[in-house]
Amino acid sequence: MTKEEDAELKVWMLEHVGRMAPGAVWRPDGTGLRYRKVDEVTLALEQRIDHEQAASMHERIKAIAESVNIAVADDNVMLTSPALSPEEAFRQELQEKQAIATSWTTEDGTRLVDLPLEEAYPEFVGEREVLLDDGETASIDEWAVMVPHGDTTIPMNPDDYNLLAGDDLFMRYHCDFGYVRALTRQQMFDYAESGADGSLLSYGFLVGKTCPHTGVKVPPWMWGTYCDFQDRLSEEE
Confidence label for 233 from pLDDT (cuts 50, 70 and 90): very low
Confidence label for 2 from pLDDT (cuts 50, 70 and 90): low
Close Cβ partners of 97 (under 8 Å, ≥ 6 residues apart): 27, 163
User: How many Cβ atoms sit within 10 Å of the Cβ of residue 55?
Assistant: 16
The winner for highest mean pLDDT among 36-50, 137-151, 184-198 is: 36-50
Cα 84 versus chain centre, distance: 24
- Using the predicted structure, report yes or no on whether residue 58 has a pLDDT greater than 50: yes
Task: Name the least confident of 48-52, 91-95, 116-120, 145-149.
Answer: 91-95
The domains of the chain are located at 22-103, 118-170, 172-237
Q: Which amino acid, one-letter code, is at 165? A: A
* Model confidence pTM above 0.75: no
Q: Are 182 and 226 in contact (CB under 8 A)?
A: yes
pLDDT at residue number 232: 44
The mean predicted confidence, pLDDT, of the chain is 83
Close Cβ partners of 160 (under 8 Å, ≥ 6 residues apart): 19, 101, 104, 112
C-alpha to C-alpha distance for 48 and 2, rounded to whole angstroms = 28
- What's the angle, vertex CA 143, arms to CA 36 and CA 67, rounded to 5? 45
84-109 residue pLDDT tens = 676 777 777 777 777 777 878 888 88
15-56 residue pLDDT tens = 888 878 778 888 888 788 989 999 989 999 998 988 899 999
